A = this chain, B = another copy of it.
Amino acid sequence: MIFHQKEIQLSPFKRGFHSITKELIDAFPEISTIEKGFFKVFIKHTSASLTINEDADPSVRVDFESHFNFLVPENQSYFVHTYEGSDDMPAHLKSSILGSTVEVPITNGKINLGTWQGIYLCEHRNIGGSRKLVLSAFGV
């Protein structure tokens, strides 16, 4: 079994959905050593998340931000966890709806995404700062 693991820190992103596919691949050339396996990304935060979606037209990511604000509005009357700002509790909820991990199969030394797929960093805070990711690649 081959197992690579690396922790990286992203530059801060503004609130919204951002494609980080190329940045991740460039940061992890070890993927090329694996014939069959998985590439995995884990985010060490509870107010930002990861997802895989359409990586061609940036307007998709604009609509993601709008619709997640519709699904999880700020200042809901029943929120009790409010002392870290109106964007904090919605950020926690959005993070769990989307998830803290994404994974992609590796086939012949390359990540095996579909034609239109890419990896998004989903920054749910107004000022989220620099986010830490654990990259892993394993297989044979």
Chain A residues close to B by CB (< 8 Å): 1, 3-5, 7, 36-38, 40, 42-46, 51-54, 57, 59-60, 62-64, 66-67, 70-72, 76, 78-81, 89, 92-93, 95-105, 107, 112-117, 120, 132, 134, 136, 138-140
Contact = CB atoms under 8 A, between A and B. Distances in A.
A60 to B, nearest CB: 5
A136 B62 contact: no
B96 A44 contact: no
Contacts of A7: 107
A38 to B, nearest CB: 7
A101 B103 contact: yes
Contacts of A63: 78-81, 89, 92-93
